[in-house]
Structure 1
């Protein structure tokens, strides 16, 4: 979340080049509308419409997603206020991309430390048993291949969030397969589940699981 368009575009380009999936917004209101459902939020303190600290507090009241606050002030007070508002880290401009990536990795490690992944992911009439690799949909068992199961689980973890083909290839196939492979597996999943509307195609980007 960055108000300056040039800075926002440059940051998005750098993060995507490093393999990150990025969704960028330019205002505090947009941030509050879209700030949930992500793995991490980069929050600029100098937003055009709302105070960054206020946005941070509101985000923290509705989600536990990690937040890295980015500000221009070098004073200790602003950093303390950002952390008290619910930020997990505070980064001062100007900064190098390598430092940002290191802080992202550190915050993500802290946020996931001690958390056990759920053994059962349920989305409406869909039930995915992670440990047994079993899937049930609308009360019936659905037999999937290992890759189909991993793809379905990836989408089911974040319904309503678009997962890029590049990320799917990286996380399911280790980056060694083509985008056509993803399309084929999605088609197979739809056929086996018997519901083409459950997995939504986002043209030119990837796929997402519909909210139920």
Structure 2
């Protein structure tokens, strides 16, 4: 199991990110004391670091530079500072990837899997989800079943990944809207319904019927 270090000073975001990583097969540890951020990152024995730039008492770009001088541990910068100059500077200082906030959970997980695979020759499993004979490749936006494959749209991918990662549990429409589009201000119930219908049609093309179930008044479910 790969050990991922979360360096994020916002307690709510930090806890949510740790839960997300643990639910997807990683060991997540978090930095909560920023008095010696560089030293603690280097001593954490992490396989990958998720690094915010706006940290108390120290800038994340400085942390990135100093850690890279002493270690080759992969670093993904996850930050609200999403302008081009910050991205270019951070990458030039040795970061392996740059993900702006707010991020989609499934997109972030795909970035993590890609960096792990590039760094260690592993991590492909984190980009694939299998359930009930259906395999979803999040990196390639493709779903397969019994040797047949179909390409997914971005929204189909997000919906199916969320449901498969929570297989056996009902996912509410509100949660789907919040997680898939960051804010339900941009998506109404009808838009979500249409996207689910498109997903079901795509699955039917490869012989997968009744995979995404509707639980009236509750949400959707992959059993």
* RMSD between aligned residues: 1.7
CA distance in 2: counterparts of 1:62 and 1:7, whole angstroms: 28
Deviation at 1:112, TM superposition (A): 2.4
1:34-113 equivalent positions in 2, closer than 5 A: 34-36=40-42, 37-113=45-121
Report how far residue 68 of structure 1 moved: 0.2
Deviation of 1:30 after TM superposition, in Å, equals 4.5
8 A Cα contact 1:28 1:55, kept in partner: no
Q: Paired residue for 1:7?
A: 13
CA shift in 2, pair 1:88/1:50, >3 Å: same
Bigger drift between 13-22 and 58-67 goes to 13-22
Residue 74 of structure 1 deviates from its aligned partner by 2.7
Matches within 5 A, 1:1-212: 1-36=7-42, 37-113=45-121
TM-superposed deviation, 1:49: 1.5
Cα distance in 2 for partners of 1:84, 1:34 equals 22
Structure 2: how far apart are the matches of 1:29 and 1:108? 28
**Structure 2 unaligned blocks of 5 or more:** 1-6, 122-223
In the TM superposition, residue 109 of structure 1 has moved relative to its aligned partner by 1.6
Q: Which structure carries more strand by proportion?
A: 2
Is 1:27–1:47's contact at 8 Å kept on the other side of the alignment? no
Provide the TM-score with structure 1 as the length reference.
0.51
Which residue in 1 is equivalent to 2:199? none
Inter-partner Cα distance in structure 2 for 1:21 and 1:35: 15
Q: Unaligned regions of 5+ residues in structure 1, if any?
A: 114-212
Partner residue in 2 for 1:190 = none
| TM superposition score normalised by structure 2 | 0.48
Residue in 1 that maps onto 2:133: none
For residues 98 and 37 of structure 2, what CA distance do their matches in structure 1 show? Answer: 18
Q: Work out the CA distance in 2 between the residues paired with 1:23 and 1:15.
A: 10
**Taking structure 1 as reference, are residues 28 and 81 closer, same or farther at Cα in structure 2, changes over 3 Å only?**
farther
1:149-175 deviation per Cα after TM superposition (whole angstroms, max 9, x unaligned) = xxxxxxxxxxxxxxxxxxxxxxxxxxx
Cα shift readout 1:119-144 (whole Å, capped 9, x = no counterpart): xxxxxxxxxxxxxxxxxxxxxxxxxx
